[in-house]
Structure 1
Amino acid sequence: MNRCFTSIKPGYSPEETNLMHYTVNVIKALFVVILCVFFYAAAYGEEAAPLVSLRESLDTVEVERLITNAHRLPVQRRIEFISKYLLGRKYHPETRDRIKKQQKMPVEKVEAANPDPLPVEFLRTSLTYLDCMTYVEHVLAIAASVKPVYHEEFLCRLIDIMFNAGGQPLMNHHRNHFTSLWGDVNERKGYLRNIARNHPWAVSRELYLNRVGNNRTFYVEDRFLIADKAQQMWYFPTDVVLAGHAPLASGDVVAMVTDKEGLDVTHMGFYIESKGKHLLRHASIKLNRIVDQDFNQYLRDGKHIRGLMAFRPMLQAAQPNLYRFQAIAAP
């Protein structure tokens, strides 16, 4: 007999008492069924999640420690803390070699068609080697993680920031390669806010990101499909930024707008204010590492910089889609 009915108040008939016991037993049985369905669905969901390959990594402990230490900080301080922690890390040699290869290719205008989409061979993740874009993405993924779990939290966040795959198996054309498109996608997801959009000191520009000009791109070689319509981008002109009219705050993601045909930006990093200085914290291909450099001087020295895109980290994205991971040996 259920304990809650061991003592029946006077006035209940035997039939009413039996009905109470029956009702309680039915509720308990339904509760057990619901629990079983929940745990089965969770297990099935994890088993059905797309599989992603990645090279064996030694970053697990470091990433989880960073998430733990940064999680309770305000968003701005979180970005400053994590981005500073990675100062001195090396520029990714694969990206550097690919850019050198790209520069040697014949100058030729082509359409970035995508007749045969290619799957992503493996997820490029490393705290040892980073390029300008993956540096920003890794910092954001660590900062957006709500629990110190490397695979189910950090890596799924990283995929959510890098790709627009919607939980599907990762394909090359899902990669948010162009920064203006990357910003739009991650603003929609809740990671960022485009502070140049409709700002009185900002200007807008339309360009076809899949029409490649004299910049010798490797996107065609990798069969990326970027866009079939004009992409609108908002940015602050260089003279506006240097005059102090752009409402930048420390920790903002900044990207250098280029005048090269078919490209939106050529570089990105973080705008940092420290000890009265305005800094660009970025992965520098020239210096081969992540560094702090004078922000205004970098803009003045940029030969093809026509302005600055700016995104404020919000880190209000929903829980990302789940992926499973398998380690593959490095070549």
Structure 2
Amino acid sequence: MKSIILSSFALIFSWCCSAQDYSCSPENREAVASKIEEIRGIRESSAGEQLITIGKAFLGTPYVAKTLEGNPSETLVIDLQGLDCTTFVENVLAFGLIRREGDLTFDAFLRALEKVRYREGILQGYSSRLHYFTEWLDDNEEKELVMNITSRLGGIEVPKELHFMSRHRDLYPALSKENTYEDMIQIEKKISKNPICVLPLDTLAENENMLESGDIIALATSIEGLDVTHTGFAIRMPDNRIHLLHASATGKVEISELPLVDYLKKIRNNTGIIVARPVF
């Protein structure tokens, strides 16, 4: 009897500890369940087309910045009520993963989102989150979730020192902790050793036909210390042009009215794009 009680206590304790690792309101838990039901009937065969179908299910969702910041400690934040460009891409990928694996449960979604969002798929504090897109891309390529095809499309390698977060420490509350700040400096030094491959706008215009719906598009920037300012999904529209399905800072998840090439011409400090193709 004593062993049964101890086993039961251990199970309850394990669940409680696990629950502390993520942050999800009842409304967001319902939203996850609702999205899971929506994706059950997806019939598209390619990963890209599946992701577009999932992404379009978020059309109209309000844009909310910094939903992952400001917590006392790093947790796996589940928030489908408001999305920024990064959380939109990550959530869509996570739903795509559980759709592929056939495990359409809340716990499977948690595991998938952690896998996409954190270095080596493991949440170990603030600095384990993949804050810079170029590291996010490299890490998720190692996990065999995406493939960087920028070079294949005509991209060129450019050296760039990444230090935006450490030099704008006041913008990131978690960096007020000295050990976290030092961790971020070391991460920036490490990822700055690799050049960034960027597809210039003129080359994109020539090779737009090589892009596929579902490709992840990241907007490279000339801003000092920063690699990317925005991200979303390529989507081929009835005009046979590639547009951008994204959480727009202008207010909501939407499809760009302009084709991607023309959209980029209006983005200040843009130097081209980085392209990742889902391969799961």
User: Shorter-normalised TM-score: what interval?
Assistant: 0.7 to 0.9
Structure 1 partner of 2:149: 195
Q: Bigger relative contact order, structure 1 or 2, given CA contacts below 8 A and separation 6+?
A: 1
Do 1:215 and 1:260's aligned partners in 2 also have CA atoms closer than 8 Å?
no
How many matched pairs?
249
Measured in 2, the distance between the counterparts of 1:71 and 1:175 equals 32
Structure 1: runs of 5+ lacking an equivalent:
1-42, 99-117, 316-331
Structure 2 partner of 1:296: 261
CA deviation string 1:138-169 (max 9, x = no partner): 111101112343332111100110111554x5
Do 1:91 and 1:130's aligned partners in 2 also have CA atoms closer than 8 Å?
yes
Measured in 1, the distance between the counterparts of 2:21 and 2:150 equals 35
Structure 1 partner of 2:204: 241
Structure 2 partner of 1:277: 241
Q: Tell me which of 264, 280, 289 is aligned to 2:227.
A: 264
Larger proportion of helix: 2
1:81 to 2:53 alignment: yes
Structure 1 partner of 2:4: none
Q: Tell me which of 61, 73, 87 is aligned to 2:33.
A: 61
TM-score, length basis structure 2: 0.78
Q: Tell me which of 90, 106, 114 is aligned to 1:159.
A: 114
Distance 1:49 1:194, change over 3 A: farther
Q: Once the two structures are aligned, what percentage of the paired residues are identical?
A: 25
1:136 to 2:97 alignment: no
CA deviation string 1:256-283 (max 9, x = no partner): 0000010001000011102123211111
Structure 2: runs of 5+ lacking an equivalent:
1-10
Matches within 5 A, 1:73-222: 73-94=45-66, 119-120=73-74, 122-145=75-98, 146-164=101-119, 166-167=121-122, 169-197=123-151, 199=152, 201-210=154-163, 218-219=171-172, 222=175
Distance 1:195 1:141, change over 3 A: same
Matches within 5 A, 1:46-57: 51-56=20-25, 57=28
TM-score, length basis structure 1: 0.67
Do 1:191 and 1:313's aligned partners in 2 also have CA atoms closer than 8 Å?
yes
Do 2:214 and 2:278's aligned partners in 1 also have CA atoms closer than 8 Å?
yes
CA deviation string 1:73-129 (max 9, x = no partner): 32122011111111111001555999xxxxxxxxxxxxxxxxxxx840x32222221
Structure 2 partner of 1:114: none
Do 1:252 and 1:312's aligned partners in 2 also have CA atoms closer than 8 Å?
yes
Rg larger for: 1
Instruction: Answer with 293-302 or 68-77: which moved more.
Output: 68-77
Distance 1:72 1:244, change over 3 A: closer
Measured in 2, the distance between the counterparts of 1:250 and 1:64 equals 21
Measured in 1, the distance between the counterparts of 2:269 and 2:217 equals 16
Larger proportion of strand: 1
